[in-house]
Amino acid sequence: MAKIAIIVFSDTTSIEALGKVSNAFVLALEAIEHGDDLKIIFEGAGTKWIGELEKEDHKIHPLYKMVKSHITGACSYCAQAFGVKNQVEKAEIVLLDEFKNHPSLRNLIVDGYQIISF
C-alpha cells in the first residue's frame, strides 16, 4: 500500500488548471481503487477549486464527488487570502493550519507520504 499526498496548487483560471485538477482526481481514483493511504489537500490558489467543484453543473463535479471523502483539507491561510474560506467551510472541508496557518507538508514527508503536486 502506497502513501500518497496529492496537493492541488493550481488556480481555477485556465483550461490547463482544469486539466491539472482532473489529473489529480484521476490519480486519486487509482489510489482509492488500490487501497492506498491517500490525502488530498488544496493549497494556495488551489483552495478556489472547492467552491467551483461544489457546483453540481461543473464539468468535473461527478469526479470531485467520487474523491471528496479523501480530501484531508484546505489551507486555512490561503482560503482566507483568496476569499473562499466560507465556500470551503460550506463544503465541510477542514481548514488546515498546522504550521503558521498552513498545512504542514513536512509532516506528510515525515509520515512517509509521496507528495505529488498539481
pLDDT digits (tens, 9 = 90+) for 50-76: 999 999 999 999 999 999 999 999 999
Return all residues near 8 (Cβ < 8 A) that are at least 6 apart: 20, 21, 24, 40, 41, 42, 43, 46, 49, 117, 118
Instruction: Give pTM, 2 decimals.
Output: 0.95
3-state secondary structure of 4: strand
pLDDT digits (tens, 9 = 90+) for 11-41: 999 999 999 999 999 999 999 999 999 999 9
Domains defined along the chain, listed by start? 3-117 (3.40.1260.10)
Beta bridge mates, 8: 42
